[in-house]
Amino acid sequence: MNSVDRDVTRRVLLGRLSLLGIGTSAFQRALADEATRAHALTDVQVSNAEWISGLTLSETDRSAMIRSSESLLSELELLRSVTLDPAALSCLRFDPELGDPTIRSVAATQRPWLRQPDTATAVAPQPADLTDELLPWLPIRVLASLLRGGQVTSERLVDLAIARLKAADPKLLCVVTLLEESARTAAKQADAELRSGHDRGLLHGIPWGAKDLLAVAGSPTTWGAPQYKTRVVEQTAAVVGRLHTAGAVLVAKLTTGALAMGDQWFGGKTRNPWNTEEGSSGSSAGSAAAVSAGLLPFAIGSETLGSIVSPTRRCGVAGLRPTFGRISRAGCMPLSWSMDKLGPIARSADDLGIVLAATHGADPGDPCSVDRWFEWPRQVDLSQLRVGKVTNAKTQAPEQAALDHLKSLGANIVDIELPRAAHHDAITQMLEVEACEVFRELSNAGTTEGLNAWPLIFRKARFVSAADYLHASRLRLQLMQQLAQVFRSVDLYVGGDDLVMTNLSGHPCLSMPVIMQDQQPEPRALCCTLTAGLYDEATLLAAGSLIESRADVLKHHPSLHGHVAEK
């Protein structure tokens, strides 16, 4: 038995001993150590464990320990003999609706404070303005109008995106694979379809990028890890397929921190376009950096515990972490079955809404995905909206700016407190245990070089018992119920230092630039976050659009100041 197997055996045996209810935790640990060293327990070993823990067992309890360890070790050997692919699903399914049984009926229709816009929200500039310097910063709705009017072609937009990606990547290190040939072919097809009157929607002919944990058939899907650097899978992620159906043109696979952690991948550190001396944060590192730098109109990222919100805030760009289950994760690298979420990164709330409209919905490949109401665009009647200001967390300058804009536009600002408890962060051990199981074979093989902090996390997670995992899940449900209570008093809230709790509960979050701050080497956009009830992305985006109209930050663009990164 190798050291990894011993760790597994010890962890599972601890769970068994705990369930039997015999002895203290110190006794159970001592006994587990003895069992994993000797493959079975003897009466002497049980007595030694009793001595270590200061406990005296009856003969009956001692015999029960010996019998239990013998059968357990045999069962574990059988389980360990079965290998699984990281993509294999768990039979357990997380449901964010458990926290609020009423949410399904609420989410079936449009919220009462929302309505359809009266007029179009964008007007295309005149052809004389359509320089290569202007085009990268235009909203998706404007680009769509230009494509249909014949002022630009998808081929031009794709060629421009490819050129800009090539030029910026030496500084940003945001590209894993540039899909030049397939992108140009798709752009020609998009132009031909639009000329013939076949219109797939607002994303038809729009270039985009995919975080490189989304599978694309025939293309490397590396997960940012050196172990998968040259792997090509013959599968296409469901979200990629939906964007293809919508006519969007995939131009590049963008960087993710190794196994979706941070901004460090096998090619180096992805950089922040506002200051290339610092990383872009992660793990949707390349997606946030590429959109922030104007290399692509939008990208798809993922979040388990901050991987959309964190890099979009660092890179001063808009990002939407949708409700858990909104977008299918089929064909996406799993990290935590109960916490993984996919979402768009773009430059404006309207752009995010357009992408979500094309990608949301149930999919048989992801048993957690659901159909819930979402339509875009929508406007919000702020006189009916209750906006929370969190009083038990510090209000940062961008958050105060967002609150001030909403208040000036007529929103009702309500003081609220979010649930706080010392154990909330500890519930994320569920993520670590699930990730450990996803990458069991990689960890067992000992080939974990270049995986950031994951090797230590994998080892640590093996010491979490099944009983502890289930206890954490029960505490998680309590947190979900507490947050459901918050949304009975407000419809959304601003800020709140809620990254851990809302990733555990599955609530949607919008990160968006709202102020410019003087920093070196140049001023940069700073973001606030808005959080709404389950499946209420339309309210987030409608409110975000109003804040954008007052904040006037989108006209500012990074200059890619800083050093040239080395691969």
pLDDT in tens, 471-517: 999 999 999 999 999 999 999 999 999 999 999 999 999 999 999 99
- In angstroms, the CA 212 to CA 255 distance is 6
Buried/exposed code over 221-232 (b: 16+ C-beta within 10 A; e: otherwise): bbbbbbbbeeee
| 307 counts as catalytic | yes
Indicate the DSSP class of residue 246.
T
User: What pLDDT was estimated at residue 491?
Assistant: 98
* Alpha carbon distance 545, 524 (integer Å): 20
**What distance in Å separates the CA atoms of residue 354 and residue 221, rounded to the nearest whole number?**
26
What pLDDT is recorded for position 467? 84
428 DSSP 8-state letter: G
Catalytic residue among 283, 310, 348, 505: 283
Confidence at residue 347, expressed as pLDDT on a 0 to 100 scale: 97
| Separation of alpha carbons 332 and 213, rounded Å | 6
Q: Give this prediction's pTM.
A: 0.89
- Using alpha carbons, list the distances in angstroms from residue 291 to 52, 221, 237: 59, 20, 21
Nearest to 17 by CA among 34, 37, 38: 34
Contact indicator for 193, 247 with CB cutoff of 8 Å = yes
pLDDT of residue 339: 98
Q: Which CATH class is domain 96-114+124-423+474-551?
A: alpha beta
- In the chain, what are the domain boundaries? 1-82, 96-114+124-423+474-551
Q: Which residue do the tokens 């109008």 mark?
A: 145
Q: Please identify which of the residues 211, 253, 269, 341 carries the catalytic annotation.
A: 211
Which residue among 307, 310, 369, 511 is the active-site one? 307
What is residue 465's predicted lDDT score, i.e. its pLDDT?
81
> What is residue 5's predicted lDDT score, i.e. its pLDDT?
52
Rounded to an integer, what distance in angstroms lies between the CA atom of residue 340 and that of residue 307?
10
Catalytic site residue 283? Answer: yes
CA–CA gap between residue 239 and residue 358 (Å, rounded): 9
Which pLDDT score is estimated for 4?
45
Instruction: Check whether the bond before 521 is cis (ω within 30° of 0).
Output: yes
The SS3 assignment for 542 reads helix
Low-confidence ranges of the chain (pLDDT < 70): 1-41, 49-55, 65, 67-70, 72, 120-127, 565-567
**What pLDDT sits at residue 18?**
54
Angle at 55 between CA 54 and CA 57, to 5 degrees: 155
Question: What per-residue confidence (pLDDT) applies to 77?
Answer: 82
209 residue type, one letter = G
